[in-house]
Structure formats: structure tokens, C-alpha cells
Amino acid sequence: MTTTGTPPDHQNDSVHFGVSVGMPTPGFYDIDRFIYTTDGSERQPQGSPSVTATQGTDASGNLVATADLSALAINGNQNFIKVKAVNKAGTPGPDATCVASGNLDAASCSFHVLPYTPSVELVGAWPLDEMGGRVLADTANTTPNNDGLAVHTASLIAGGDWVAGYDHGNAWSHPDSAGYSEGTKGALTLDGASGYVTTSGPVLDTMTSFSVGAWVKLANTNGFQTVVSQDGNQGSGFSLQYSKDDNAWAFSMLSADQANAGVVRAKSTTPPVLGVWTHVAGTYDASTGTMTLYVDGVKQATNVRTGWAAIGNLVIGAGKHNGARADFLAGQVDDVQAWQRVLSAQDAHDLANAAVPLAKYGLAEGCTDVLGTTVPSLQGNWAFDDGTGNTADDLSAFGNTMTLNGGYGWTTGQAAGAVHFDGSTGYGTAAPAVDTTRSFTVSAWAKLDDANGYYTLFTQGGQHTAAFQLRYSPDVNRWVFGMTTADDDTVDNYHWALGSQAPQVGAWTMLTGVFDQKSMRVRLYVNGKLEGQNTVPTVWSAEDAFTVGSNVGVGNFFKGSVDQVRAWGQVLTDDQVVGLYGQRYFDTVSKTTGAGSGGVGLAADDNACAARFDSSGTGQIDAGRPANLRTE
């Protein structure tokens, strides 16, 4: 066997070989085909790629069987090519001998190419971290060298909701510019009956090589359940799924786009584990017709099938059978990605094993007293404990007194006093509290009287519109925090971070909005916990009043009570925000709290905020087991 044509340079380049074999019995031609593999695995008469042998003669006139075969350099770095001749009775012969040629090494029958980076040929990536709404972002175009990539925004259909997921973003393929190291964010839970996600058109060319992968937590094994597929007219061009018939994960392909078509599956070696996050990936090598299934980064099985053109939508959480939507997923799905190339076994391993923080204790809750009183970045602190008059003192070093207007009154607060606004004319204004072109945090306690209108808690404006606003929005029944891209009230240029839970009327709620200028992201915290975030492409300097209880010029008067409004010229971290809410030993990944006992406490000194253990030897912090920790 020798290489022919141009040697490959990079992973997924084509490579071509010429192979020939003489006849064991001179003059008697008995070779049917050649079988081969490109990953070093054992060649099998059934299941391995094959190419038909052609009868010929060598230079001496002896009968030989020859073939030209093509494959892909699937692996980065070293690739293997192993070939056997199979006679007409179906019996394979020994491995072919390699002849040094091109970049083919004779002794090992291998060749080397340069590896791809993870984002090469990435065509779709859905982090599923929205935690609200029914529109799902495709972030593939944010990866290196993919700026001009077509965006395949997806939509959630019917029975689905948002839950805490496995990871935040797409950690292996994406650079950490959007906070993937923050750990678990969101995922979709689907009902197994009607819920699924769909793009508006095809993402993959299923006639050429491709790969798909996702994290999934299966809730039951009641029927076929598809994680990712792409529609044809009658069926799915491929299905990464749970196969009820086999009680196994499977990467499945139909023989044709027709009703009741035959199916070929590459299946897992063990049944799925219910209620456990599992990574599944399927690859299709069009050069050989080889389909491969990986579970948690480990190769399970291969099979062979010729692909056909599935030109419909890419679907998450369901498939298509005999022209109808079918095989709905019952469970959770996260971090779905698609490549127009074959991932290698190493790629599949790295994809499934990308580092994901399972727990994170910053222990900065001990800074709460400092943050609320003496920290230099505190630029406004209105406790609303005044009780009388039409002004509220600013307890920060800036002395930025707030003037109250319209329908307001003094009332009992979350701590001491508070101000109540009537939802019609009441609001308060002070000089600008933060520089809206730099990082800032604004927080307040609020208690809604009802959920019937758009109720603005705080904002800071320019000549025409507000630079930021935190409000209750009845259209989504959520708290929202957003920023605008320009001082322009003729267009809707807000970029909103949405809360994940419906507000509770009549209950004190701590609301915090953060703008991180470094990452250009806005974050919304409800009762100390991060509920939503979004990217804002540009910001501007709003130098008009800081307003509590109204979006001045628009209305949206707040109806309810407000207490402890504070503003900082810095980003507060997750554990600092939860400390303001009064919780301690907070895990910012799983959003749970631990408990300290004995000689331990959270405190601040000149150097840091930390857990401080005394000399008694009794101090300990008990934290819950991280939700997705697996020790096997």
C-alpha cells in the first residue's frame, strides 16, 4: 500500500492510497473487496468501510487485485491506515504492508498532520443559558476566525422550561470571553411529549462529514428519545438519541428519506444512567460512510451508512418519523454543538471532559458591612429611614440627597424605614450616581403592591432615554435589568437580562443590577442569586438624574415600597451580592449555601474578606455535595 496524490497537511484533509495484492493461487482470481480502518481498530468483514477490488495484472503478467481508496485524516497528529483483502468467501487476509511514500511511515502504517483547533468548521453552538424566553442564541460566530459565520438562532416550541444546567457556555470550543469559567448556568428541560427546539433551516450538510454533541440528563426510558437531529421530508437525516429497542444511546441514520426506512445504529455498550448528566456525541465520516458514537468522551461503536441530504431544520429534543415530529426528549439538555467535520476520538474526549467548575466559594460575604458603609466605590446609599419630609439622605461620602416627588409616603421597610410610591406620580431623584461608561452595581430592596404594570425601580437618564433601568415587566412577568446603546428614544435599543422566576407580590425582594465593562455584560440578581445576563455592544455616558420609582420622561411609576438603594462604581462579585442579601458560605456555581459551625466566621480585614478559623480546632464549614460531581 502506498499513498497517492497530494499528502494531507491538516486534520480532516483527504488522503488517498493505492493498494494491491497478488493471488494465493496463481491464475485464480478470488478477491472481492478491501476493508480498512483509519483509527487503528481491527478491520471487520461486516461493519468496516470497504472498497471493491478491481482485477488486473502486474508487470510480470500475474493476476492482482487493486483499488484506490480515500479517507480523512481524522486525528490531529498521528493517523493510522490498516487494510485487508477479503476473498469471495468473505474471509479476510493479513494486514497490507505499507510502503514509505509521501508522509506514510512504512513500519507503523501511519502518517502525521497538523491538528485543528476546536472551533474549526464549527457551524452551530447553542449554550442554552438564556434562563428565560423562547429564543436560543447560536454562538458559533463568536469563536476564533468564525466572525462571518451564518447564525442559526433557534426557537423553543411547546413543552419546555429553564433549569440549572451542566455548564455555562461551550467550554471546549469557545474562548472564555463570556464567563464560561463561572460554571453552571442554564439548560432546557423538555417534557417528552411536545417540547423541542428548532432552527429555521438546515445547519449541517448531511451528505458530507459532520459531528454533533450535547450534554443530556435522561428522565426516563419510556420510548425513543432524540437529543439532536436534522429533518428530512419523511425522517431525520441523523438522530443522536436514546434507542428504546436497544436500551442504549445510539447514533442513528436512516437508509433513505422515506416512510418506514431502514435504520443503522452505532450503539453504546451499556444502558443510560437516568438522572445523570451524560455527554453524547456522534460523528459521520462521509469518505468511508463510518458513523461513530461516543458517550462521555469514550468511543462506543461504529457502523457504516451512506448519508443523504436532510435539508430541513436542525432539531434539539425531538426527531422526525414518517413525516411527523416524534421521539420527544424527556429530560434536560445543555451545550449543543455541531461541526461540519469529523471529530477525532481525542476531540470527543476533550469535548466531554472540558473543565467545568462544580463548586466555587469566594467567601467574600464577610465584606458586606464594608460594602454598605465605608468602601470607596460606594457612590450612593439611600436607606430611606428619614421618616418625614420630601428628601432622603445619602449616607455615602458623596452626600447626594434625593428629592421625593408626587405620590409617596413613609412606611416600614425591610430594615427600619422605607418609602412607598403610589404607581401614578411618585418618584425620587438625585444627581447622577454612577458613570455609565464604566463598571457599576446598583441594588435595592423592593416590595410590589401588584404585578399589573411596568414598574421601574431605578434608572439613570440622558437627554432622551435612560442608560440603564431595572424594572418589573408584566409582558414576561419577570424582573429585568437592561442598558441602552445610545441616548436615542426613537428606537428600542435595550439589551435586557431577564429574571428566571416570577416575582412574588407583597414580599420584600433584593434586586441588583451589575454592568461589567470588561466583558460588556449586564447581570441581574434576585435575592442575591444570579438569574439573568446579557451582552451590550456599546454604552454611553448618562449625566442626568439618578431616579428611583420611575423612568422619567416615560412614566412606568413604581407601585410599592423601596428600601436601601445603593450604588457602587465597581462590579460586585456573586458572593458579595449574596452577602448583601444576608446569606453566607455561598456556592456561586450551584447557588446553594453552606453552614459554618464552631470556631469559624466570615470577616473582613485590611487585606481580604475570608473565612477566619480560630485556635479552638472546632471550626468547620459544611457544604452540600456539588450537584454534578461524579466520582466514578
Q: How many CA atoms lie within 13 A of 345 on its CB side?
A: 13
Fold of 2-113: Immunoglobulin-like (2.60.40)
pLDDT at 41 > cutoff 80: no
Contact 86, 50 (CB under 8 A): yes
The answer for residues whose C-beta is within 8 angstroms of residue 295's C-beta and 6 or more apart is: 249, 268, 278, 279, 280
Environment class of 77 (CB within 10 Å of its CB; exposed 0-12, middle 13-18, buried 19+): middle
Cα distance between residue 302 and residue 294, in whole Å: 9
**Stretch among 54-68, 168-182, 228-242, 405-419 having the lowest mean pLDDT:** 168-182
Percent of the chain with pLDDT over 70: 98
Tens of pLDDT, residues 287-307:
989 999 999 999 999 999 999
What confidence score (pLDDT) does residue 589 get? 77
- pLDDT band (50, 70, 90) for residue 592: confident
Tens of pLDDT, residues 213-247:
999 999 999 999 999 999 999 999 999 999 999 99
Among residues 281, 124, 268, the alpha carbon closest in space to that of 213 is found at 281
- pLDDT band (50, 70, 90) for residue 179: low
CATH of domain 122-352: 2.60.120.200
What confidence score (pLDDT) does residue 575 get? 87
pLDDT at 180 > cutoff 70: no
What confidence score (pLDDT) does residue 74 get? 87
- pLDDT band (50, 70, 90) for residue 593: confident
DSSP state of 142: G
pLDDT at 172 > cutoff 90: no
The answer for residues whose C-beta is within 8 angstroms of residue 187's C-beta and 6 or more apart is: 128, 162, 163, 164, 165, 166, 215, 217, 332, 333, 334
Tens of pLDDT, residues 337-383:
999 999 999 999 999 998 777 888 888 887 878 888 778 899 999 99
What confidence score (pLDDT) does residue 164 get? 83
What confidence score (pLDDT) does residue 354 get? 85
Angle at 80 between CA 349 and CA 116, to 5 degrees: 50
Kind of pairing between the strands at 586-587 and 455-461: unpaired
What are the C-alpha distances in Å from 109 to residues 42, 52, 98, 606? 14, 21, 6, 64
Domain chopping of the chain, boundaries: 2-113, 122-352, 378-569
Tens of pLDDT, residues 49-104:
889 999 999 988 899 999 999 888 888 888 889 999 999 999 999 999 999 988 88
pLDDT at 466 > cutoff 80: yes
Fold of 378-569: Jelly Rolls (2.60.120)
Tens of pLDDT, residues 106-129:
888 888 988 888 999 999 999 998
Position with higher pLDDT, 333 vs 80: 333
| Mean pLDDT of the region 543-562 | 93
Work out the mean pLDDT of the chain and round it to a whole number. Answer: 92
Q: Give the chain's length.
A: 632
- pTM of the entire predicted model: 0.72
The sheet carrying 50-52 orders its strands as 50-52, 31-37, 82-87, 92-95
Tens of pLDDT, residues 246-256:
999 999 999 99
